[in-house]
Amino acid sequence: MKEFKGRVLAGGNWKGEAVVSRQGVNTLATFQKSALKNAKQVIVSDQNNSDIYDKNITRKALCLPITIGSTTGGLVIQTVCAMGINPSAFLFSEHIDSLAASGIVLARVWENSSVIAIDMLGEDFLKTVKTGDTIEIKEDGTVIVCD
């Protein structure tokens, strides 16, 4: 078990499974196929990201450095949150980027989403956490990677 502390952007208590991308997540490419199909869950469609390609990230903790790609990224996060197929938590190792920040804020303010977002968890967080690990998140920004 290892504990990390980040900055709370959108807080909450949660426990579940991690999906880890060690490279920047292209938001549009990741979510668009599932969203277009009006799917019940997001199966990652970004072929350029072998870490998470073809993985189900709905109701998981998506662990990533930052998001990258089109400036529609914020709207895409808002959209999947509105559809209820979003990852339960976005856990950023770095300072959140402006596109993901927009998405989290839009989802919270306009969709009453309970999506959790914590940033600045540190490089060691992404080195430690693996896809499939159990993650526990606390309201104060503590993230526990369980054995």
The conformational region for residue 63 under phi > 0 = left, psi -120 to 50 = alpha, else beta, is beta
Contact between 105 and other proteins per CB under 8 A:
yes
**What are the tokens at 98?**
């402006």
For other proteins, the closer of residues 103 and 145 by Cβ is: 103
How many Å apart are CA 83 and CA 61, to the nearest integer? Answer: 17
Reduced to 3 states, what is the DSSP secondary structure of residue 71?
coil
Q: Which stretch binds other proteins (CB under 8 A): 24-32, 51-59, 85-93, 124-132?
A: 24-32
User: Among 20, 35, 44, 135, which residue sits at the site for other proteins (rule: CB under 8 A)?
Assistant: 35
Q: Which stretch binds other proteins (CB under 8 A): 55-63, 84-92, 97-105, 124-132?
A: 97-105
**x-or-dash pattern for other proteins, window 107-126, by CB under 8 A?**
-xxxx---------------
How many Å apart are CA 133 and CA 54, to the nearest integer? Answer: 18
Cβ neighbours of residue 114 closer than 8 Å, sequence gap 6 or more? 12
What is the closest distance, in whole angstroms, from the C-beta atom of residue 44 to other proteins in the complex? Answer: 16
Question: What are the residue ranges of helices labelled H in the chain?
Answer: 27-36, 73-83, 98-111, 123-128
Binding site for other proteins (CB under 8 A): 9, 28-29, 32, 35-36, 38, 47, 68-75, 78-79, 82-83, 96-99, 101-103, 105-106, 108-111
